[in-house]
Structure 1
């Protein structure tokens, strides 16, 4: 039985009107989210990840112009007015922000902040809300929660504050949890704890997660499907195994080649040359072409369509056109492709 699709984004465009001109931050983005799955949106800073997710939760800046469709279980989110968003935001769709220190009110006790969404969305007493806040603190791994429910944010470490932010996001038991680089400011050990906590929460609550990150290493253990973003567009989209072991877009190759693994040879890590384009004036053709050593002449003239690799895998690169020449891919990518063939063999033998 196929999973229910609870969120569908079609032809999403987000432009910002600035003194310098119109910034085309999101350009024709399409994806869907199924119940109980994790979709990771990956890309460098400035690729459009956070703008996309803020649009999904109705937190776009005042100078944003939005077109396209965002359908959440039959509700057209793109048509909602601010007073209507109050019923959805934090209740149906909640967000874990990148920096817990700026997400928490420094003047309010943490227990009260966790209780606030329940008081807003449910008809319960303050005492009942605080009791449930205490249970949530325990469920997200805050030790000696009874002793710390009246603490202020500055009294907690970064990892504990992030757990508090997760507890706030979970307070109204949302269907969709958006995590915007929730481990960026944390050390590696605490990162692993937060990621394991989120996986446990998903299993327990059957929530759907949109996980925003620039770190493909995090994605491997978290995601079911991956959308790779570049210059405001999704350039590759597939299951986590397809994107990791059968990557087709040169930008995805670059991201994977810059990520160390257990069998990475010394000196073999490579950065992607150049910088992302200025979206005040997006380049003609494929936006990645100026940084792409495998770019074809057509890449500088015409934007590639989304080519179908499999039923669940798509990539926007002219290299997938049947007329394109064969290119010699980086050795590390060739190894991944070899592993992909092995994985397919293993699955067919099951």
Structure 2
């Protein structure tokens, strides 16, 4: 088996604030292979965006502190690198698509120039060749009349088209890893579907590895190979997309899946929510951080943090419910029905079912 393109080992990131030290990321581990899409999901404040920004060393120091861990990209740990050394990695090897395209684009510059600047910085080619590549990129990301659009400003594009421009910029230097931080949140559902299809096509044609950050598990079903579920700065469940959807093991994952809107559900039916709020990470709770919101919590959940139990060769979950002595609690029926309704499948727990083509 080939070496993973990215390995994150025991990553811990803190932030010094007036209220105390926020333990934003608490021992995160995951791997990413070439040509693979990993989705990192969780509520706001779970540590998803801090983790993704850390991969490009975009955490400002201070107030941020890389407390411990390794981010090994192509065999090299990025954490010890200086900002000058990281500038050669950013854009060239790792690129990022942010949530709001208007914060990523310079409103005073034509979009073509914004793309060609990235190409010229990272590739040893002429300005005319850079322009040709920029126009080709605009066409590749589905922007009609790319020669004309090349000369236009960001305000002349719709929200969906601006996000396509941002994707073109991210692809300009042909990165090996693309990080997409909630890239469709600000878009309507029709444009969202188009952007997701575009990213899937990019991943297939260029063999680019993608980390997709989102709070929407419905999006995950369409784009990911593997899923990491984050809660309170930790990964609490990790597995293939089929394992997470058809055989989820952590009560928090059950809650996220149960919160997905179902197009076939009765209009009078209330949408399920996870009770309570995430913990204060300036003072993380003793034991399992999800215990206070978990209707299936055991006594040990309030005393001791659970280890990461192995469900299969590729599936892991951080819950005491997987301990051999724990009571056997099946996935709640209401959650199973919600998943079935969303995915249009009859048997949620059938591991042979396939979501992603």
**TM-score, with length taken from structure 1:** 0.95
Question: Are 1:339 and 2:347 counterparts?
Answer: yes
**Aligned CA distance change for structure 1 residues 328 and 136 (closer, same or farther; 3 Å):** closer
Question: Counterpart of 1:15 in 2: which secondary structure?
Answer: strand
Instruction: Show the counterpart of 1:289.
Output: 291
CA contact (8 A) 2:70 2:77 kept: yes
**Worse-matched range after superposition: 84-93 or 60-69:** 60-69
Distance 1:238 1:342 in 2: 15
**Aligned CA distance change for structure 1 residues 152 and 334 (closer, same or farther; 3 Å):** closer
Compute the displacement of 1:340 (Å): 4.8
Instruction: Show the counterpart of 1:28.
Output: 27
Instruction: Show the counterpart of 1:325.
Output: 327
**Worse-matched range after superposition: 230-239 or 289-298:** 289-298
- Give the number of equivalent residue pairs: 345
Q: Is there any run of 5+ residues in structure 2 with no aligned partner, and where?
A: 341-345
Distance 1:256 1:65 in 2: 33
Compute the displacement of 1:326 (Å): 2.7
Distance 2:59 2:290 in 1: 26
Runs of 4+ in 1 over 6 A off after TM superposition: none
Quote the RMSD (CA, aligned, Å).
1.7
Distance 2:257 2:100 in 1: 26
CA contact (8 A) 2:139 2:146 kept: yes
Compute the displacement of 1:293 (Å): 0.7
**Worse-matched range after superposition: 223-232 or 267-276:** 267-276
Question: Are 1:249 and 2:257 counterparts?
Answer: no
**Over residues 178-207 of structure 1, what are the superposed CA-to-partner deviations in whole Å (9 max), with x where a residue is unaligned?**
000000000000000000000111111000
Distance 2:152 2:349 in 1: 53
Compute the displacement of 1:126 (Å): 2.0
**Aligned CA distance change for structure 1 residues 74 and 4 (closer, same or farther; 3 Å):** closer
Question: Counterpart of 1:8 in 2: which secondary structure?
Answer: strand
Instruction: Show the counterpart of 2:343.
Output: none
**Worse-matched range after superposition: 332-341 or 96-105:** 332-341
Question: Are 1:276 and 2:278 counterparts?
Answer: yes
Question: Are 1:315 and 2:322 counterparts?
Answer: no
**TM-score, with length taken from structure 2:** 0.93
Question: Counterpart of 1:310 in 2: which secondary structure?
Answer: coil
